[in-house]
Structure 1
Amino acid sequence: MRPEHSLGEIPADWPIPDQAALAAAHDAALDALKDTELAGRRLGRYYDPMGKFAGATYRTVLPNDPGQIAAADLFAVTLLSVRLRPAAVRRLLEDERHSDAVQRRLSAVPGDADLAEANAATLIDASALYEDVKRALASPKPAKSDPWVTASKLCARKRPSLLPVRDRKVRELLRIRPRSDHRRDWLIHRGLMRDSTIRRLLHDARSNATTEAGSRVDVRDSPLRVLDVALWTHAIKLDAS
C-alpha cells in the first residue's frame, strides 16, 4: 500500500490533487532522479557556464530586486525560451495600473518563502501575484490569450523557493492533466518538495553535477528550481542530445 503524500497547510478553497495524481508525479520524479550520476550530468550540462542553456544566469542576471519586476527580469525569462511581446513589456514596466498591482502583490509574498512549508496565507498571496502577472502579460484582444508559461517563469525568478517554473514538458512528465489550475500544479510540486526521498536524490544529483569534460559545476539555485531543471532535462532526454 502506497504511503499518503503530505501537502501541509492548504488554503480552504484550493483544488487539491488526489493521492493518485500525487503518486504519479512522485513516480515520475523518482524516475528522473534515481540515477543520481546521470541526473548530475544533466544538471552539469544545464548549469555549465560555457554551455548553451540558461543555467544560473536566469537567476543571477542583475538587477533582481525581489520587490519589483524590471527590464532585467524580462530579459532573464527570455533565456528560458519564451517570447515577450512589446505591449506586454509596456504593461509590466510602464502601465501604472499593472505595474503597481504587481508590486503590491510582490510586497505581500515573503522573499524567502519556501513551497514545502509556506502557510495558506502565503500561498493565497502568491496565487494573486501570479494572476496579476499573467493578466499584465495577456493580450487584451485574443479571447484565449493565456500566457501561463511566461507568467510562471517570471514569478519563479522573483520567488525561486516558492514558485515552480511550470512548463509543458515538466507538466507532461509529472502527468498533470491539460489546463490544470496553477494552484493544483503548485500542490503537486509541494508534495515532491516535502518528500524525503526526492530531497535526498536531488541533493545527490546536485553533488554529482559535472560538465561533459568532467569539471565540477557549482549548482546554487534553490532546490525547487533544481528539481525543475532535473525534471526538464530528463523529459527532453538531454543526455541523448
Structure 2
Amino acid sequence: MRPEHSLGEIPADWPIPDQAALVAARDAALDALKDTELAGRRLGRYYDPMGKFAGATYRTVLPNDPGQITAADLFAVTLLSVRLRPTATRRLLDDERHRDAVQRRLMAVPEDANLAEADAPTLVDASALYGDVKRALANPRTAKSDPWVTASKLCARKRPYLLPVRDSKVRELLHIRLRSDHRHDWLIHRGLMRDRTIRRLLHDAKSNATTEGGSRVDVRDSPLRVLDVALWTHAIKLDAS
C-alpha cells in the first residue's frame, strides 16, 4: 500500500513520508503505548493538577481566543519550557504587521479542524499560520534563527486538534529526520492519529491515568495533545513506577 493512501487528502506539493518512515513512527508509538497502565500513570503524573508538569494548564489558561494570540497564550507556551524574547513578544502582541498577519491566518483555519481528517486546503492554511508565527518569533538579526519548537507549541495551543506539539524528543523517538520539514512531521502524526490501534491504546491509557498516589486523573486534552504527552513522557523515561 502506498503511504499516501493511508494519510487521506494531502496538498499536492507536500513532502510525503515514505512507508519506512510511517512504519518506524508507528512502531515507536506502539512501544510507548503498549503498556497502557504504565502509559496511564505517566499521563496521570503529567496532568496531575498538584504536580510539576504543565498538564492541562497549557491549554486551559485563559483567555484562549481562537482568533488571536494574546499574552495568555505566550505565558502558556512558556510552561512547556521555552523562552520568549521581548522583541518576539512585541511583534506578536504589538506589531501591527505581524499581529494582523497571524490573526488572518488563524481566521482561515477552522477551530474544530482535526489532523486525522483535515482536507488539503485546511492543511495549507495551517502551514501558512505556522510560517507566519515562526517569522514573528524569529530573530531578524540572526540569519539562522529557527524558532520551530516555540512556533509549534504556540500554534498547537491555538489549534490543539490539528497541530502537534513538535519538539526534538518526540521527533527523535519517532525516528524523524533532524532537519525534517514541518509538513512531513505533521503527516507522520496524521498517520498515527488515523491508526485504529493507536487510538484504542491512547483511549485505554487515558482511562488508566492516575497520580503517584493512585488518584484518578481526568485527562481532557485533545487526542493529538495526549498522544504527544504519551510519546514525550515515554521518550524522557518518566519514572511512573
TM-score range, shorter chain: over 0.9
Q: CA shift at 1:3, angstroms?
A: 9.3
* 1:81 partner amino acid: S
2:35 counterpart letter in structure 1: D
Match of 1:54 in 2: 54
Q: CA deviation at 1:239?
A: 1.6
Other structure's SS at 1:239 match? coil
* 1: CA distance, partners of 2:81 / 2:138: 17
Q: Report matched runs for 1:1-241 at 5 Å.
A: 6-239=6-239
CA distance in structure 2 between the aligned counterparts of 1:36 and 1:22, rounded to whole angstroms = 22
Identical pairs, percent = 88
Kept in 1, the 8 Å contact 2:42–2:240? The answer is: no
For 1:128 and 1:240, locate their aligned partners in 2 and report how far apart those are by CA, in whole Å: 39
- Bigger drift between 2-11 and 148-157 goes to 2-11
- Partner letter of residue 15 of structure 1? P
Note closer, same or farther for the CA distance 1:60–1:240 as it changes in structure 2 (3 Å cut).
Answer: closer
Corresponding letter in the other structure for 1:35 = D
Q: Distance in 2 between matches of 1:143 and 1:222?
A: 35
CA apart distance, 1:214:
0.3
Q: Distance in 2 between matches of 1:120 and 1:39?
A: 33
TM-score, length of structure 2 as denominator length: 0.98
Rounded Cα–Cα distance in structure 1 between residues aligned with 2:225 and 2:93 = 25
Instruction: Report the TM-score, using the length of structure 1 for normalisation.
Output: 0.98
Letter in 2 for 1:91: R
CA offset at residue 222 of structure 1? 0.3
Deviation at 1:59, TM superposition (A): 0.2
For the aligned residue pairs, the C-alpha RMSD in angstroms reads 1.2
Moved beyond 4 Å, runs of 4+: 2-5
Aligned length: 240
Deviation at 1:134, TM superposition (A): 0.1
Counterparts of 1:146 and 1:203 in 2: how far apart (Å)? Answer: 34
**Cα displacement string for residues 149-174 of structure 1 (whole angstroms, at most 9, x for unaligned residues):** 00000000000000000000000000
Whether the 8 Å CA contact 2:116–2:194 is kept in 1: the answer is yes
Is the 2:78–2:84 Cα contact (8 Å) retained in structure 1?
yes
Range with greater deviation from structure 2 (5-14 or 24-33): 5-14
